[in-house]
Amino acid sequence: ENAKNYLNESASKKLQAIIKDNTGKEIKYGTPKDCDTGILKDSEELQAIIKKDWGKLEQLNKATT
């Protein structure tokens, strides 16, 4: 639901379908570092990734809108 603010309607529907298809499946992977129940904490590591890959993030955002 939170992604709706960042995705166009088509991408949002695709994401919801993926979530629905995977609901109830066995979890095979653990939680990444700096991640608490699926929400990344603001950390120096996260800020470094954002700064390093900001251009890629902007391109990804443009591709989904």
Domain ranges of the chain: 2-64
First vs last C-alpha separation in the chain: 16
pLDDT at 59 over 80: yes
Q: Which of 22, 24, 4, 2 lies closest to 13 in space, CA to CA?
A: 4
User: Under a CB-based contact definition with an 8 Å cutoff, are residues 64 and 13 in contact?
Assistant: no
Report yes or no: 7 and 15 within 8 Å, Cβ to Cβ.
Answer: yes
Residues 33-49 have pLDDT tens digits of: 666 665 666 677 778 87
Q: Indicate the pTM of the whole model.
A: 0.35
